[in-house]
Amino acid sequence: MNLWQAIIEALQSLYSNKLRSILTILGIVIGVGAVIAMLAVGTGAQDTITGSISGIGSNLLFVTRGNTTVTLTRIEPLTSDDAEALLDQFQAPSIAAVAPVVNATLTVSGPGESIRTTVYGVTPAYEQVRNYGVTEGTFINEEHLLGRSSVALLGPDTAEKMFGRRDGLVGETIRIEGQPFRVIGVLEAKGGSSLGSQDDLVIIPLSTAQARLVRRSENGLDMILVQVVSPEMTASASEEVALVLRNRHHTRVGEDDFTVFSQEDFVSVAKTITGVLTIFLGGIAGISLLVGGIGIMNIMLVSVTERTREIGLRKALGARRKDILIQFLTESSLLSLIGGVIGIGLGWLISFIVGRIAVANGTPFYPEISLNSILLATIFSTAVGLFFGLYPANRAAGLEPVEALRHE
């Protein structure tokens, strides 16, 4: 028996038991569809998170107070003087710009709405470091900083919540913890990031925040953002930051009271987390594919029992053990292959729906179905059919013709 003939006979056999075949295929469809969808969602999540981290700014280092790797008796706060020292080109030639930051979640009130959102106290350098732009108005300047001006920029989501619009807001007045601030601009939309929403925020001058809203000991900072001259200089810039701050804080190597992160560190952590999550979800989905394979074995065993006399007759007419084996393996493989192809379509549909729901809810999330996942699902589903069809096929091929013909 050649392969083409085996396929024709397998299709005829499956067609003669349509309902049973459809129910068996359904198990594979669900399994493959779930695997494809979970892998697509995991890949999409990884791309979305890494894209958001990249959107925070260009070639950034994040300097924060404290060190989780060692126990310290005293931790010096990060200060504006620390940030100023990092701009010394003699000590830190790899650094292009520095933006000190304080932030806190505060109550912000407008004419129609009062909300809790994150208020950032920043310097003019923050615009460059974070790649922010304004759709109207201007960013904070040195005059605002020196005068501790009561001015603010609104994120687009914050503007929408408070005023019901995102334009025509320059000159409007908002209140932060009851204190009046004049709106001088609205920021461009940037979407979400690992640091939270980049569109739901209020930006005010650093000096104003430190003096009136976000008080820290010794005028401390929550974070210093450092922009590196080029991606190739990230490692050297990180070393320069550490050296400058060690000299200022009088700490030794291994006892730093600060931590320096790069965007690559965030991306690496995000990829690790989403990678583990994808494997976990794919494993759960793979269980349903395993159940589908058990369904194939069950249906093939039933088929062997029902077709015992047919098998005996074919053997009596000269069919070899190999011919019977090929026929039943072909049937099980076709069941899994057809289910796999339909399952790929189902997985794509689920991924598309998940992506549309995410976008409708304001999250730019696009599940991605790769060619590798399609090939993996196809090969795996066919392998499931072969594996779970092997025992029934061997059982059919091992029947003795005389005993098979006696079967009622």
CB atoms inside a 10 Å sphere around CB 385: 29
Helix, strand, coil distribution of the chain in percent, nearest 5: 55, 20, 25
The percentage of the chain sitting over the pLDDT mark of 70, rounded to a whole number, equals: 85
Q: Tell me the C-alpha distance between 230 and 60, whole Å.
A: 10
pLDDT band of residue 195 (cuts 50, 70, 90) is very low
**Joined tokens for residue 301:** 């065993």
294-345: pLDDT as tens digits: 777 777 777 777 666 776 677 777 777 777 777 777 877 788 888 888 888 8
The CA distances from residue 233 to 236, 244, 256, 398, in Å, are 5, 16, 22, 70
Q: How far is the C-alpha of 388 from the C-alpha of 119, rounded, in Å?
A: 60
* C-alpha dihedral, 299 to 301 to 306 to 307, nearest 10°: 110
Element housing 346 (H / E)? helix 321-360
Q: In the structure encoding, which two tokens stand for residue 122, read together?
A: 């920043």
For the cut 70, the answer to whether the pLDDT of residue 44 exceeds it is yes
- The pTM of the full predicted model, rounded to 2 decimals, is 0.63
Sort 38 into a burial class: Cβ within 10 Å, 0-12 / 13-18 / 19+.
Answer: buried
Classify residue 376 as exposed, middle or buried by CB count within 10 Å of its CB (0-12, 13-18, 19+): middle
Q: Could you report the per-residue pLDDT of 84-99, keeping only the tens digit for each? A: 888 888 888 888 889 9
Q: Are 149 and 179 in contact (CB under 8 A)?
A: no
Q: What is the tens place of the pLDDT at every residue in 226-283?
A: 988 887 888 888 888 888 888 888 887 777 778 888 777 777 777 777 778 777 877 7
Can you give the pLDDT at residue 194? 44
Q: For 338-392, how does the pLDDT look when each residue is reduced to its tens digit (9 = 90+)?
A: 888 888 888 889 888 888 887 777 666 778 787 877 887 778 777 777 777 777 7
Largest Cα–Cα separation, the chain: 104
